[in-house]
Structure 1
């Protein structure tokens, strides 16, 4: 609980993940005790109804009554799961998604994970052939973009929480599904870990010590690998494959795993890393190959790996720009087009010409580019500017009627001298640094 006492000195807003079970009931009780000492604390609770048990609605009512009794605002949210394999992990991901979505900025999310949960996680990670990251267990603090998750009970045994609950005459829900050993955690909890504890009473404590060692090792590895990634990084967050291949294979794997985690906040398994090596790193085929991962894609271009978010096709999108005086918003957070002196100089449209913004030019379409006398294909122009394939259909293309005028931020067709004072700027969310792809 020390971490919670320290946190209260810095933060005042707390959101308790409250299932109504023993662990979260004790956590809510502890927060209410702290609230008596620190009246400035703003406390809320959230209950996630999984809709998996006939008593789910009764549990919702129970949690609401308990929160009403203590004057705690309760948020109730539902998630829906099909009873398939991997239901525990799916429920966990959906639950966290709901909790985070319903949290306020700078509000501390509190969960009641304890030492027994840590040991179960340790065994599950052994089963999954996890490395030091997985074997280091559940993190006490997780930093998110707008807040963080804290688990103040991680060093406390389940039996200690039960003792607190009994001493304070707390009431809680007993979920009968906790006895179902078809669930992996229940199997470990009921069948496996008790045998270890009976044989070696110090087992839980020593497991926790091992997890701390793994966590320390993981921290050191991360520091070293972060420096390696920095040395291999290219513009637009690319990773240099040529230089990567010069490093020992085990370190290459660590670099790729950490690079992916840095971009996606998801730790990939060994099989996924293996596929990256086979299909992208070792593959000499220059065709644009990509590997999908969750809502992201890893692609190879010009002997470098790039990490991109999955993006819907907008090849058929056509925007009409009726008045240059007004800026025009582009779809999918691609920014907007503005008339100002900071942009590219563009020929002025004729009086009755339709001004269109498109996002696709046929790769074999020939264009008079710069001062070259011979027309070249758009594909060659993209290659000249080293614009990777996944960005080409995100660049706004200016048309007057059906005549291509400019790929904004990249080029203007060279058909005649530009005798106008028309400048168009594309302010966009794709580029992050001035030295990235030229738009």
Structure 2
């Protein structure tokens, strides 16, 4: 059995044999104990990336305080370094989900470029995940359950035992006389997964002995179907990725017209694909918000609020604004040395091109009623100028205005809102980028 399971593990991990490091998520339970033992044993005969183990301590029960010591002793016997990470679990409607989120946030932080985090989920876990999500009304993406691998941090999360039944892991553990932790919470039927594992699946297995294998196979079929939907979404989004008239604005955006030509189902599929890396997706009932945004009057600027930001529609273009977009200060900022760039708190950078005016300068934000001298046009109302430029409304409140005393001297050129005479100075604004906290 050892050779068969080892060979299966090596075959699954073949694509990542040249990774800089393999980190093993080590809870101390059966699954991760077997995975750790398998890899530590293989490292004696095979050339593998450097191995290390990571134990996440959630602090949710008194019994868990002894688990880091157990994990440390196991790792010392196997010659694998261990890192213990303590996390804070935010209370909420689902303790299971909150603990999982905290755990994977910790995993993300330690997974460097090209590195791999290995977890011990197995075929029974896959079947439970499918039924759990089916009962929650998940779509194809959710019912595809857990993928063998996905992006995590700078590298990949890999589940090399996903095709192995739990019974095979138990046999391996008994054969090698492994000791593991039995989490008391795993028998608490208040948790949905425990209820499925201890009440539902025994009944299903009694009537259909191959139910776990069948459900895992169904998850594979659904994963393949989701792959086809992803390919379709990429095709549909290609037409919507048209250049923005505001290329300097570092926000994800799409042209709306190509999406309008698709059926409702293909619109939702394309948007799910586009929004997945940006926010947690809404459930079916909340997709009515997309219909309202899409069908609003032409001169409207509707907003669809989602878990991690907002989708805006401005001038037949969709713009994604993460929650961090609104996290900046409207307070005035002095600019004593305008020959040097000015960092605006939470709002990017401002700089002068050319020779700026002398005297104390201050950056303020719009209050309404501003006017400015435009070369060749005289004094013009700023609101009207911005309307002419079709600048999206959500940007206007962040637009830095340069004052000398009470006189509005300049508005950022914004890639040519209006022409400036040759040789004159201009004010250039580089808004906050996604790399600076907008993703």
The answer as to whether partners of 2:281 and 2:306 remain within 8 angstroms in 1 is no
Question: How far 1:387 moved relative to its partner?
Answer: 1.7
Larger mean CA deviation between 11-20 and 314-323 belongs to 314-323
User: Structure 2 length as normaliser, TM-score?
Assistant: 0.86
The alignment partner of 1:219 has SS state of helix
1:27 to 19, 30, 35: 35
* Residue 381 (1) aligns with residue 396 (2): no
Residues 231-246 of structure 1: pairs in structure 2 closer than 5 A: 231-236=239-244, 237-246=252-261
Alignment of 1:70-85 (within 5 A): 70-81=78-89, 84-85=92-93
Work out the CA distance in 1 between the residues paired with 2:20 and 2:225. 33
Of 298-307 and 422-431, deviating more is 422-431
Match of 2:412 in 1: 408
Query: 1:214-264: CA deviations, max 9, x gaps?
Result: 111111121112111221334454334444333322222222222222x41
Aligned partner (choices 216, 219, 226) of residue 211 of structure 1? 219
Work out whether 1:306 is the aligned partner of 2:319: yes
Q: Secondary structure at the match of 1:36?
A: coil
C-alpha spacing 1:202/1:413, structure 2 compared with 1 (3 Å):
closer
Give the alignment of 1:165-314 within 5 angstroms. 165-236=173-244, 237-261=252-276, 263-264=277-278, 266-278=280-292, 280-284=293-297, 286-310=299-323, 311-314=325-328
- The 1-side partners of 2:258 and 2:329 are apart by 35
Task: Tell me the alpha carbon deviations over residues 257-286 of structure 1, each in whole angstroms, 9 at most, x when there is no partner.
Answer: 22222x4164432122222213x1223384
Structure 1 residue 399 displacement after superposition:
2.5
Displacement of 1:419: 6.4
Q: Helix, strand or coil: the match of 2:221?
A: helix
Change (3 A) 1:302 1:412: closer
Q: 1:372 & 1:197 partners in 2: Cα distance?
A: 81
3-state DSSP of counterpart to 1:80: coil
Secondary structure of the structure 1 residue equivalent to 2:310: strand
Q: Give the Å deviation of 1:184.
A: 0.6
1:326–1:338 Cα contact (<8 Å) kept:
yes
Are residues 383 and 36 of structure 1, via their aligned partners in 2, closer, same or farther at CA, if it must alter by over 3 Å?
A: farther
1:328 and 1:9 mapped to 2: Cα distance? 47
Aligned residues: CA RMSD: 2.8
Q: CA deviation at 1:323?
A: 2.3
Q: 1:16 to 1:388 in 2, by over 3 A?
A: same
1:182 CA displacement: 1.1
Partner of 1:36: 44
Supply the distance in 2 between the matched residues of 1:160 and 1:21 (Cα, whole angstroms). Answer: 15
Q: Structure 2, unaligned stretches of length 5 or more?
A: 1-8, 245-251
Tell me the secondary structure at the aligned position of residue 299 of structure 1.
strand
Shift in alpha-carbon separation, 1:78–1:286, aligned structure 2, 3 A: farther
Q: How does 1:111-130 map to 2 (within 5 A)?
A: 111-130=119-138
Equivalent residue for 1:399? 403
Which of 371, 382, 385 does residue 376 from structure 2 map onto?
371
Partner of 2:4: none
Q: Is the 8 A contact 1:15 1:46 kept in 2?
A: yes
1:141–1:151 Cα contact (<8 Å) kept: yes
Aligned with 2:25 (options 2, 13, 17): 17
Partners of 1:374 and 1:427 in 2: CA distance: 26
